[in-house]
Chains A and B, each alone.
Chain A
């Protein structure tokens, strides 16, 4: 059966990978027949309606899914296609209550024109009551015009950035493609509003927004029965998103205050726990603990189903890990016979940490601690002039599943999703990031991205 998915026209390079991840996590056999970054309409083949519902129910970047009744480049083609595909089923729908909708992407129709379009489908012979609410069936005419964004694009396939919303073409123009479908199910997109940061109890300026947190959790296949970990948990956006999809979530951070909250009140929930309470997800909260990924207490065993993170790339304050600046250990200090590091308020020594070293540590950690087919979904900033494929860090035990890009003009960030390969399999390492950190002891020496970001942004240009 062919179905039509209506996407939101946002985060285009995330849409197809999210859909494919959901096919994996729901075990649905998905074939994408037609997809374009310029269009919200994506044509797919699925075994049945149950599969369509399962696939779309937790999709964040889609709005809904329709059973395809017909398509064409003009209305005559659509009518003929609808007859060919569905004429034998029209009787089933003869007496149900129903309504029709006309949706124009990058185009406009007057109300009178929409009514005419709806009237033109009267050959279907539906005799049931027409209602606006509580209808048995909804049918939709979905028109797609050539958007100005698409018309201006240099080549149709190479652009990967998030495009601005298209401006509708003037009335009177004809669409380039028309679909007619029977509405089947709503997506999981409503979760964006539920988890809106504006309504969340505990956040910080670095909290990832609800939409992209949820997409990240989908890419990593968060689901009931699984254990998910965020090694840079902060205010817990990813843990909340993974918990929304049913995973039990664990988080750590080198800065305990980030997940505990600034002013914890003894005996009262604070920090990340406030958010789990707010959303009724307490049973999906496993733990948070204070640690540094370079000295993690987690076992070197496959115990995690998913790792999702937005590592602190040190754009603001430079990266830090445990250690001393000169690399020499300090003698343990004692205060009244108690080791200083056991006293409240002890601040562990930190040393600057390189960007490349951190990427390698994350991949090595993922390779050690993910179960087979477990996933790592990691955000990473990139300079806009960095070579795409070469910029992707790789690891022999991890296969790159998808790379999505969110562009901010002078820099962009990518969401890279990896799968842990079974023992004995090795991923393609021929094209890979082969960078090492520069020698140095301060944050700028060690962080090419931070250096570049600050240099570019000085003087207010670009």
Chain B
């Protein structure tokens, strides 16, 4: 699972979705893999407005990624290639291959195996 995807998801349990504590989900025991991918600066500029920056900082910190700017880049900063390359590496090239995503609100753990997260719920939670 990519960090970009983690920024778009929350707890699958309906009662949790409304709670701010359920986002972002927290990585635990994450095994990372870096997959080199074509740099797409225009995509990053297009997608940045949709990124929840505070959550991204939390996730980056949990994964041990070097610190990212405190505030979301905008305006002229979007032409800073080094910054965009760093974001490209964090959002698209960094993959969580094994580990868990944990909800802070209900404690439910979603397993990640071979890069694929499983959000199916057991019957007592649907």
Contacts and interface: CB of A to CB of B under 8 A. Distances in A.
B116 A289 contact: yes
Which bracket fits the contact residues of B? Answer: 35 or more
B93 to A, nearest CB: 10
Contact of B123 (A224, A264, A292, A323): A323
A141 B67 CA distance: 65
Interface stretch (A60-68, A324-332, A353-361, A447-455): A324-332
B4, B42, B117, B122: most-surrounded residue (chain A CB, <10 A): B122
A323 B124 CA distance: 9
B40 to A, nearest CB: 7
A224 B5 CA distance: 18
B126 A295 contact: yes
A256 B110 CA distance: 14
Interface string B82-113: 00000000001000000000000000011101
B47 A289 contact: no
B84 to A, nearest CB: 13
Contact of A290 (B35, B38, B42, B116): B116
A405 interface: no
B116 A297 contact: no
A102 B122 CA distance: 65
Nearest to A341: B122
Q: Which of A287, A289, A297, A349 has the most CB of B within 10 A?
A: A297
Nearest to A322: B126
A295 B5 CA distance: 16
Contact of B13 (A295, A324, A344, A348): A295
Contact of B122 (A297, A298, A332): A332
Given A329-B124, A332-B124, A296 B12 contact: yes
A291 B5 contact: no
A282 B43 CA distance: 15
Contacts, number: 119
Contacts of B21: none
A226 B42 CA distance: 10
B122 A226 contact: no
Given A224-B43, A226-B46, A295-B12, A283 B38 contact: yes
A296 to B, nearest CB: 7
A329 B123 contact: yes
Contacts of A295: 12-14, 119-121, 126
A227 interface: yes
Contacts of B110: 297
B12 A297 contact: yes
Interface in A336-354: 339-342, 344, 346, 348-349
B1 A289 contact: yes
Given A226-B46, A283-B38, A340-B122, A303 B8 contact: yes
B11 interface: yes
B123 A297 contact: no
Contacts of A342: 109, 111
A248 interface: yes
Interface string B12-42: 1110010000010100000000010110101
A295 B116 CA distance: 17
Contacts of A254: 120
B113 to A, nearest CB: 8
B120 A348 contact: yes
B10 A290 contact: no
B114 A264 contact: yes
A346 B125 CA distance: 15
A289 B114 CA distance: 11
A424 interface: no
Interface string B35-69: 10110101101110010000000000000000000
Given A224-B42, A266-B114, A283-B38, A299 B9 contact: yes
B79 interface: no
Contact of A296 (B119, B122, B125): B119
A330 B46 contact: no
B116 A288 contact: yes
A326 to B, nearest CB: 10
A229 to B, nearest CB: 9
Interface in A250-300: 250, 252, 254, 256, 260, 264, 266, 282-283, 286-292, 295-300
List the 3 shortest-distance A-B pairs measured between CB atoms, nearest first. A341-B122, A291-B119, A225-B46
Interface of A: 224-227, 248, 250, 252, 254, 256, 260, 264, 266, 282-283, 286-292, 295-303, 322-324, 329-332, 339-342, 344, 346, 348-349, 371
8 contacts: A286-B92, A288-B116, A289-B119, A290-B118, A291-B12, A291-B118, A292-B120, A348-B123
Interface of B: 1-2, 4-5, 8-14, 17, 23, 25, 35, 37-38, 40, 42-43, 45-47, 50, 92, 109-111, 113-126
